[in-house]
Amino acid sequence: MTIETTAVQAAAPATGETVTMTYSEAVRDALRIAMAQDPNVFIMGEDVGTYGGAFGVTGELINEIGPDRVRDTTISELGIMGAGVGAAMTGMRPIVEIQFSDFTAQAMDQIANQAAKIHFMLGGAVNVPMVIRAPGGSGTGAAAQHSQSLEAWFVHIPGLKVVMPATADDAKGLLLSAIDDPNPVMVIEHKLLYKTSGEVRTGDIRTPLGVAAVPREGKDLTIIATGVEVSRALEAAEILAADGIEATVVDPRTLKPLDSDTILRTVKATGRVLLVQEAVRTLGFMSEVSAIISESDAFGYLRAPIKRLAGLDIPIPYAPKLERASVPQVEDIVAAATDLVRKW
């Protein structure tokens, strides 16, 4: 074996206990567990080694696992992605880190034309069990080329699965499920969430792909939100509750495959729905959710028109005030929800 095997401590079984950790530590915990379980799992990307990742996600993993499986690359997104595809087709389980999700544009041929299509196009003869981790979203002052929310691009390509973890526990559980999956899975993390903390189940846990979370239930309206907007929706729900409005909050967690059942069930229960995404409005993911609701029997339960809150149709600007104004904030959610409930 040419693998420089550094002993990796076997993953502890799930115990049902939780521990407080940051979203970024939770991602690292998942990487550590997956690499301990399977010698074919490895991560590669720009500066994931000694540097520890642009957002510090891989941290000191290179010291625990070694440079073979925590593999630094040149600045070559297309080459890295292609190498991931080739490795995945031949028995490995690569995790490719793309430093900012915006840079997937550099790698798009290998994502859209290769990874996504190979299984289908080759008649099922080959699988591409690859995970692409890429931080998305605005709020860091990094401007238009480092702040986009591009999830709709990937949802629009059959053959890819797309997940957007909104909590530390989901960052761990969804990533482990993505690594298990025999298909290419795009995991869009959010850079504002990396430093947030939450209770995370310890040991070898999973959050299944294709199952939405309902972190809050209320009778007056259903707020469906993704990524960083989930925590904003929950904060808004607290404020709304003080004003006597009880909101259900749904986090789809997996955009493809989508848990439409949970969405429709919760929409029917409240009869009002507010859809919140950070991505630009036009043809965003929530446009699809809106269409799914409209085409279903939940339509008959609606007491108000479906309302979308989304990013403005603009590139993300640099100045803090402008950046903040570009995407839905807590107060926007409170206002839109109040409007929906009071007017209808």
Partner 1 sequence: MNTQIVANRELAASSLATMWKIRRFEEAVEDLYGRGLMHGTMHLSIGQEAVPTGACLALNQDDYITSTHRGHGHCIAKGADMERMMAELLAKETGYCRGRGGSMHIADTATGNLGANGIVAGGVPIATGAALSAKMRGTKQVAVSFHGDGAMGEGAWHEGVVLAAMWQLPVVFLCENNLYGMSMSSEKAFNLEQLSDRAKGYGIPGVTVDGNDVQAVYDATKEAVDRARAGGGPTFIEAKTYRWRGHSKSDKNLYRTRDEIDEWRGKDPIPLFEAQALAAGGLTQADIDSVRDNVRTELRSAVQRANAAPDATADDLLSAVYAR
Q: Which of 94, 139, 227, 328 binds partner 1 (CB under 8 A)?
A: 94
Q: Which of 56, 79, 203, 271 binds partner 1 (CB under 8 A)?
A: 79
Q: Which stretch binds partner 1 (CB under 8 A): 11-19, 139-147, 158-166, 239-247?
A: 158-166
Binding flag, residue 87, partner 1 (CB under 8 A): yes
> Three-state SS across the chain?
CCCCCCCCCCCCECCCCEEEEEHHHHHHHHHHHHHHHCCCEEEEECCCCCCCCCCCCCCCHHHHHCCCCEEECCCCHHHHHHHHHHHHHCCCEEEEECCCHHHHHHHHHHHHHHHCCHHHHCCCCCCCCCEEEEEECCCCCCCCCCCCCCHHHHHCCCCCEEECCCCHHHHHHHHHHHHHCCCCEEEEEECCCCCCEEEEECCECCCCCCCCEEEECCCCEEEEECCHHHHHHHHHHHHHHHCCCCEEEEECCEEECCCHHHHHHHHHHHCCEEEEEEEECCCCHHHHHHHHHHHCHHHHHCCCCCEEEEECCCCCCCCHHHHHHHCCCHHHHHHHHHHHHHHC
Binding flag, residue 70, partner 1 (CB under 8 A): no
CB of 40: closest distance to partner 1 in angstroms?
7
Q: Which stretch binds partner 1 (CB under 8 A): 47-55, 97-105, 153-161, 275-283?
A: 153-161
Q: Which of 141, 182, 208, 320 binds partner 1 (CB under 8 A)?
A: 182
CB of 155: closest distance to partner 1 in angstroms?
13
Q: Which of 31, 85, 155, 224 binds partner 1 (CB under 8 A)?
A: 85
Q: Which of 7, 9, 16, 158 binds partner 1 (CB under 8 A)?
A: 158
CB of 37: closest distance to partner 1 in angstroms?
16
Residues forming contacts to partner 1 in the complex (CB under 8 A) are 1-3, 40, 42, 68-69, 73-74, 76-92, 94, 109-110, 113-114, 118-127, 129, 158-159, 161, 182-183
